[in-house]
Amino acid sequence: MADHHDPPAPEGDTEAVEPSRRDGDVEPPHHRVADDGAGAGSLGAHSVVYLAGTALQGLGVLLVLPFATRVLGAAEFGRVATGLVVVQMVGTIAGAGLPQVVLREHHRGTEGPRVARALAGTMVLLAIALGVLGVGLALVLSAAGHADLSEWLPLVVAAVALTTVVAGQTLMRARLQPWGFLALAVIATVGAQLAGVLAARGEPTAGTYLTAYAGVVVLAAVLALVLGRPLPPTAERARVRAGVRLAAPLLPQAAAMLGLLSGDVLLTRWLVGEAGAGSYQVALQLGNMPFVLAVALFNAWGPLVLSHPVGQRWAWTARTGTALVTVVAAGAAGVALIGPWLVTVMAERGSGFDHVAMVAALGIICTVAVSYMLYQGASLAVLDAERTGRLAWAALAALAVVVLAALVLAPRAGWAGGIVGVAIAKALGYVVLMGLTTWFARSHSPLRWPSRAAVVAVVGVGLALVGSVLPLEGAGAWARAALAVLVAAGALGRAPRIVRTLRR
């Protein structure tokens, strides 16, 4: 797919960051798109590709997951799960909140694509710097007897490589090139996880798995450099500095968001133990299927929102966003209701995994996708208003809720304790994130979610919670199946109207 380039900016337009605009301001030429039909057509076409790519990325990992749990067992798999969370956290810190700014700057003026490449190069350099520090820390801890280099070094290498992959994927999204995004996603996730499983068959240890995983992520990073062609920061020194300043508040926001995304695995290991972390990771991967759907839709939707004409942007965002929330809510409810069968496929009974708790946690985790879809639309409005500090506060507040709720719930006995307690904490955190970001969007932008979006979200979350508490066998299993069929029928019935909304 060819690169997308906006119309040229007026000569001499060298502002690094466009000032915030009031309602009714004249729209700068470099923000205009050809017409609404083109934007809607792009949303439809790109949603299909991003949905296929991101779903393949997420579902591909699920295809590998049953083999990983059987090869490694609950304890070793728990160590692998924790290690992968560390990789994601370090990678996010190295990114320093720049992916959002890369996406934004690409659509600003004739030099926008070049500025985006220079910002991507900044991400790569930050990753390398953190990698050097990570290797030094690993050597010091190993000498003191507090770290195993066979696990630490692959984690450091994988974190640097994964940040490079994210830089390349961000450029692919900004250029509206979903096929490049797809290639990087599949290699860095499915390919890397599959390599880990194959290596662990000979030596079933976390160190072996992570070493093979890191090797494939490095290959994906090389491909990201070839496809993305990032530039050194000096190529656009002034606008890169301005972009970094804009991204600065997004660094704590990005770290907090990653804590929301994956920090619950670390909390589970600390509060419940390694075997509990292994069980929780399986439930998390399954419960993340609707989350993957939300991310896939956003990957296509986000660039089109920011490149849409200002006068129509937020009404179009509210209308299409509500349709996307409906899709995600149906997916969340469906996955939660068929949870027992999914868990049985992913982890054998009697192998150290708590199936009852995993099904309950899965259903609760599914609700996160609904909150996240609403959050994503609101976050675009806050970002466009250049109120990135508000995003940081919302994410940090949500992360604090997750940690405090997990500390209270996880140690408790009974249904709401253990890994289910951590899942509840995660869901509460995302509700706080969505609520605060929506409030900030209302305060700083014209975006208003219609009441229909709230109704759809509540129904989807309610059905997912029903899926978390229904019995796994007997009448409960029949009720699950019946509700799942009703959800599927309702989704199919609404599909034509949703498609018409996205195409208008």
> Taking the chain (504 residues) in consecutive chunks of 10 residues, what is each chunk's mean pLDDT?
36 36 38 40 56 61 71 72 67 63 73 82 82 78 69 80 85 76 81 85 81 89 88 76 69 74 81 78 87 81 75 87 93 93 76 79 95 93 82 90 94 83 95 95 91 94 94 89 93 83 67
How many residues would you count in the chain? 504
Answer yes or no: are the C-beta atoms of 53 and 184 closer than 8 Å. no
Extract long-range pairs of 291-294: CB within 8 Å, 24+ residues apart: 291/365, 291/368, 291/369, 291/372, 292/54, 292/55, 292/57, 292/58, 292/59, 293/51, 293/54, 293/55, 293/327, 293/328, 293/331, 293/369, 294/324, 294/328, 294/369, 294/372, 294/373, 294/376
Together in a domain, 236 and 336 = no
Among 430, 444, 456, residue whose Cα is nearest residue 322: 456
Residue 357 lies in a domain: yes
Q: What is the pLDDT of residue 138?
A: 72
Q: What is the pLDDT of residue 2?
A: 36
Instruction: Let me know the angle formed at the C-alpha of 32 by 29 and 33, rounded to the nearest 5 degrees.
Output: 145
Domain stop point among 194, 217, 248 = 248
| Alpha-carbon span 369 to 335, nearest angstrom | 11
The predicted model scores a pTM of: 0.68
| Alpha-carbon span 482 to 494, nearest angstrom | 18
Question: Which residues neighbour 10 within 8 Å (Cβ) at sequence distance 6 or greater?
Answer: 29
| Alpha-carbon span 61 to 292, nearest angstrom | 11
Q: What is the pLDDT of residues 211-223, one digit of tens each?
A: 888 889 899 999 9
Answer yes or no: are the C-beta atoms of 180 and 2 closer than 8 Å. no
Q: How many domains does the chain have?
A: 2
| Alpha-carbon span 314 to 447, nearest angstrom | 5
Together in a domain, 101 and 140 = yes
Together in a domain, 172 and 280 = no
Together in a domain, 81 and 218 = yes
Residue 8 lies in a domain: no
Residue 399 lies in a domain: yes
Together in a domain, 301 and 404 = yes
Together in a domain, 357 and 328 = yes
Answer yes or no: are the C-beta atoms of 94 and 163 closer than 8 Å. yes
Q: What is the pLDDT of residue 119?
A: 83
Domain stop point among 248, 283, 312 = 248
Together in a domain, 198 and 65 = yes
Domain stop point among 186, 213, 248 = 248
Residue 464 lies in a domain: yes
Q: What is the pLDDT of residue 387?
A: 83
Residue 9 lies in a domain: no
The secondary element (H helix, E strand) that includes residue 465 is: helix 451-469
Together in a domain, 438 and 456 = yes
Residue 24 lies in a domain: no
Domain that holds residue 179: 34-248
Together in a domain, 405 and 279 = yes
Q: What is the pLDDT of residue 77?
A: 72
Answer yes or no: are the C-beta atoms of 409 and 268 closer than 8 Å. no
Together in a domain, 241 and 308 = no
Residue 4 dihedral angles phi and psi, to the nearest 5°:
-100, 125
Q: What is the pLDDT of residues 133-191, one digit of tens each?
A: 877 777 877 777 666 676 678 878 888 888 888 888 888 877 777 777 778 878 887 78
Q: What is the pLDDT of residue 201?
A: 84
Together in a domain, 241 and 348 = no
Together in a domain, 224 and 256 = no
| Alpha-carbon span 196 to 214, nearest angstrom | 9
Residue 202 lies in a domain: yes
Burial of 371 (0-12, 13-18, 19+ CB in 10 A): buried
Interhelix angle 178-186/36-95, rounded to 10 degrees, is 30
